[in-house]
Structure 1
Amino acid sequence: MATACHMSLLLLLALVALTPSTTSAASPNPNLLNLHQLLQLLGFPPGLIPDPVDSFTITPAGLLPPTFDFTVRFKEPCYVKYVYLNYYAPVFTGKITFGKISGMIGHKDQFPTGEWVDMYDVTAVGQKLYFTFATANVTYDRSLFEEVKTCTNGPLLPADYSNELISQLPISAE
């Protein structure tokens, strides 16, 4: 029977072998993992990060547990509505290991108060996702994030809210 150490090393080897250091949406390789497949391999629903991703990089950061630094690049700031309106900066970074994304920079949610709040961590446990924000912690069912949503790049919400302007847009990091 494989130990947790052996399983961690197998996961690390699989990710290093199947994931390029940089992947571009313009030149996909069917033999390599895309970002949404990688999320699933690490215990997250595929729609946790929206499309279109311009490119992403993943580099090993630790062995036990296998941990990776990641950078996701969008061509423009990305707005997408899950439970709340989400903002992704053109460059979104963090660390990922099985069931945990931490140290995120470049992602905010707009709370019902209208305030944009930094999201720092996401933990997947069973059918729940636990989100850590600068000012609150919230829990959602992972089924809300199964569908890969598409970004809007301007100050308007997606089509079903097209007449509503987003208030207090966060300023892009770039």
Structure 2
Amino acid sequence: MSFLTLFLPLLLLLLLPPTAISSLHDLLQSQGLPPGLFPENVKTYSLDQTGLLEVHLEQPCLAKFDTRVFFESVVRANLSFGGLKGLEGLSQEELFLWLPVKDIIVNDPSSGLILFDIGVAHKQLSLSLFEKPPVCKPQDLALQRDEKNKMGFQAQR
């Protein structure tokens, strides 16, 4: 074997851009979860032997599933088959309130439903909402847009 044959694959791996998001999606799918639970701006993630998943985003951001969700720059959860439990760093807007998402669970994939536990309530959503990673906008830009929309609404009165 030549030197080039041995080291060319390694060299290519070093030169290619990181694929944290696609490998995170693969990890989620291997655990019975949909691939689009985390936004596309995932920088890195880690999973330790106890099942603690830690996802680092480029910055905190707002996205939308059925309602708006807020991702902090670091999201942690205990990953097990069919669930992200004890979530930290993810909130969902419900009736003008931001509530922390505690657990995300897929009990039966054939049902087509995913359960979001927001503490005071459980919310069932279609798994189809999570096929692709959501677009996540920086928090300050999203809030500025919302303020402009509110001002436009007031001007129409």
> Which TM-score applies when normalising by structure 2?
0.74
Say if 2:83 is the partner of 1:77.
no
Shift >6 Å, 4+ stretches: none
Deviation of 1:48 (Å): 0.9
Give the SS at the match of 1:38: helix
Q: Which residue of 1 aligns with 2:105?
A: 123
How many residue pairs end up in the alignment? Answer: 129
Q: 1:164 aligns with which of 146, 152, 156?
A: 146
Q: Which has the higher helix share?
A: 2
Secondary structure class of the residue paired with 2:29: helix
Q: Does 1:153 align with 2:138?
A: yes
Query: In 2, are the aligned partners of 1:118 and 1:134 still within 8 Å (CA)?
Result: yes
Cα distance in 1 between the residues matched to 2:25 and 2:147: 29
Shift in CA distance, 94/164, structure 1 to aligned 2, threshold 3 Å: same
**Paired residue type of 2:63:** V
1:92-131 → structure 2 map (5 Å cutoff) = 92-111=75-94, 113-124=95-106, 125-126=108-109, 127-131=112-116
Residues 1:56 and 1:164: Cα distance change in structure 2 (over 3 Å): same
2:119 alignment partner, one of 134, 141, 165: 134
- Correspondence for 1:16: none
Deviation (angstroms), 1:75: 2.0
Q: Partners of 1:119 and 1:93 in 2: how far apart?
A: 11
Q: Which runs of 5+ in 1 are unaligned?
A: 1-25, 62-67, 167-174
Q: Alpha carbons of 1:76 and 1:29: their partners in 2 closer, same or farther (altered >3 Å)?
A: closer
- Show the counterpart of 1:42: 31
Q: CA RMSD in A?
A: 2.3
2:147 and 2:31 mapped to 1: Cα distance? 35
TM-score (norm 1): 0.68
Counterpart Cα distance in 1 of 2:44 and 2:82: 22
Instruction: Return the offset for 1:27.
Output: 4.7
Task: Give percent identity, aligned residues only.
Answer: 25
Tell me what 2:48 maps to. Answer: 59
For residues 75-117 of structure 1, give each alpha carbon's deviation from its aligned partner in whole angstroms, at most 9, with x where no partner exists.
2112101101000111110101110110101100011x21000
Task: Name the CA distance, whole Å, in 1 between partners of 2:48 and 2:17.
Answer: 20
